[in-house]
A and B are shown apart, each in its own frame.
Chain A
């Protein structure tokens, strides 16, 4: 069974569009995260949610907004997409310090 699943796996879109990436975890974890993998392959944390409260928000443009309808889901909405948003985005959930990652979504903005 997939522990952390995110969809879609690939997303190709035009500049200026609004898109969403969905994430679901069936592990019963309280904390979920969104990471962005940059061009140097570093994973940088964008958001983390604990019991539906935003507890980390690195310097991310407000065009990015996480939405958590319940503790098993943390979706990422991106408005007015820009070329620089092209990257791979990873969802994760955690129990204490052990992270479980989704398989990633490769976003390409044309």
Chain B
């Protein structure tokens, strides 16, 4: 069965700092990879997804993620965070026809 681990539980950054959130998964076959974001008081939204092709995926709001198959990783990045990026970020993996498996989430706090 697949599993997902997110390395950081809580990340605190100043505005304009660069962001990288780690995500590693375990699954032996072809995977679909996702990052979700939950802003305070809102439900989850899809930030970006990788199915195939270019391993560097661009998402909404300036986010991107890179799929590195050899490292079983799908890290989320943003060159310059804003206060409005404060949210909970979830990495998720889907292998074959199985339901999504979510990581435990990383809380990002951006301070002025």
Contacts and interface: CB of A to CB of B under 8 A. Distances in A.
Interface of A: 9, 35, 37, 40-45, 88, 90, 97-101, 103-106
Contact of A41 (B43, B46, B98, B104): B46
B49 A99 contact: no
B45 interface: yes
A59 B99 CA distance: 24
Interface residues of B, number: 21
A104 B40 contact: no
Contacts, number: 50
B105 A41 contact: no
A98 B43 contact: no
7 contacts: A43-B36, A43-B43, A45-B43, A88-B99, A90-B102, A97-B38, A97-B41
Given A101-B102, A103-B101, A40 B38 contact: no
Given A41-B34, A41-B49, A98 B105 contact: yes
B35 to A, nearest CB: 11
A71 B34 CA distance: 30
Nearest to A88: B99
Interface string B19-43: 0000000000000001010101101
B82 to A, nearest CB: 18
B36 A103 contact: no
Contacts of A40: 46
Contacts of A100: 104-105
A99 B100 contact: no
Contacts of A88: 99-100
Q: Of residues A9, A42, A99, which shows the largest number of chain B Cβ atoms within 10 Å of its Cβ?
A: A99
